[in-house]
Amino acid sequence: MYLLELAGTDDAFAAYEAASAASRVTVRGGGVATARGITDRVSQLALTHRVNELLGTAAPDLASARALVEAASIDRSGSVAVRARDVRGATGVSTQAVERALGSILVERGFTVDLDDPDHELRAVFAGPPSTTEWDGDAIAIPSAAGEDGLCALGWLTVEPERDFTDRAPTDRPFFQPGSMDPALARALGNAAGARPGARVLDPMCGTGGLLLEASRVGATVVGVDALEKMVRGTRENLVAAGADEFLVCRGDARRLPFGTDAFDAVVVDAPYGRQTKISADSLAVLLEDALAQARRVAPRAVVVGDRPWAAVAREAGWTVSAQFQRRVHRSLDRFIHVLDRE
């Protein structure tokens, strides 16, 4: 079993992304999930801070954490560092006291302490109870084994996914337009769609290419289409600057894609925002329905994000809405994420 430390506050979508690289992902507390197994793709997750080999779980207090370590069978040796975390300050536990207490137990069992470059890092993660996420009347089901007071989960650090998203902000790209998606969300959307080595991913409304950039970084072959030549040139420039190897970007109409049936494994779409376009809401819905019908022809899965719910439009285009999430960006903007599958 593995312990996942989730990023941000949207545990439902973070767990959904994690399931693209792990099996039997279950949210156990606020910001904490477990997984039955993992693949090497966990190193590419955007919304998981750390992946740990699970040692065990206990009540969210120091005494229970001590008892868990004292009773645990540990087949490791060498140097160790203990890192404690109270996720979102939910339990009020003293992380320093936890680190001292658990460190002392490990020293008694033969470990040496090395806080700078240890052979092993024991993570003690304290979390409150999980929250249920609801969207458009449908609850996102998250099985939980946490009690009303939360839990403490202990694990050995195994993988720390890259966290360099802030080092490549959209404003640092050769071509930038206001409203460009941040790289962490773009990576998570691509992972949810199935971007990985060998996968073929299409963005039929590619804009500045943010979704394609992150899909390319995890090894997918990417194709972008946009109605504006300026966006086509800009996306090409951004992909070249990022070192993308296999990509195609062309001008075209998302409602009349020039590709054969099942030409792709997945489609990712950042739908036009109503307040950024000059067309009416009804016209925008018709445009997106036509585009999603084309997406359904060329790929068996799509992930669509927009500034409003598009589930009804997706169903009209023939898709099954497998999952849906709502993420707060700021006070005046929420992003609605839809995972679509073709039956």
Residue 215 has pLDDT above 80, yes or no: yes
Assess whether the region 2-159 and the region 165-341 belong to the same CATH fold: no
When pLDDT is cut at 50, 70 and 90, the band that residue 54 belongs to is: very high
User: What is the rounded end-to-end Cα distance, in angstroms, of the chain?
Assistant: 32
Please give the CATH number for the structural domain made up of 165-341: 3.40.50.150
Nearest Cα neighbor of 201 from 149, 229, 239, 146 is 239
Model pLDDT, residue 180: 83
Average pLDDT of span 239-247? 93
Model pLDDT, residue 332: 72
Model pLDDT, residue 178: 87
Model pLDDT, residue 276: 54
Residue 21 has pLDDT above 90, yes or no: yes
Both tokens assigned to 102: 């658990």
Model pLDDT, residue 162: 86
Please give the CATH number for the structural domain made up of 2-159: 3.30.2130.30
Nearest-Å Rg of the Cα atoms of the chain is 22
Lowest mean pLDDT among 21-30, 127-136, 204-213: 127-136
**Cα–Cα distance measured from residue 31 to residue 239, given in angstroms and rounded to the nearest whole number:** 33
Task: Tell me the CA distances in angstroms from 49 to 73, 122, 132, 157, one per residue in order.
Answer: 26, 15, 21, 11
| Domain residue spans of the chain | 2-159, 165-341
* pLDDT tens digits, one per residue of 180-200: 889 999 999 999 999 999 999
Model pLDDT, residue 137: 35
Selected residue with higher pLDDT from 66 and 168: 66
Residue 325 has pLDDT above 50, yes or no: yes
β-pairing verdict for 32-35 and 2-6: antiparallel
Residue 143 has pLDDT above 60, yes or no: no
Average pLDDT of span 237-245? 94
Residue 131 has pLDDT above 80, yes or no: no
Model pLDDT, residue 277: 55
pTM of the model: 0.92
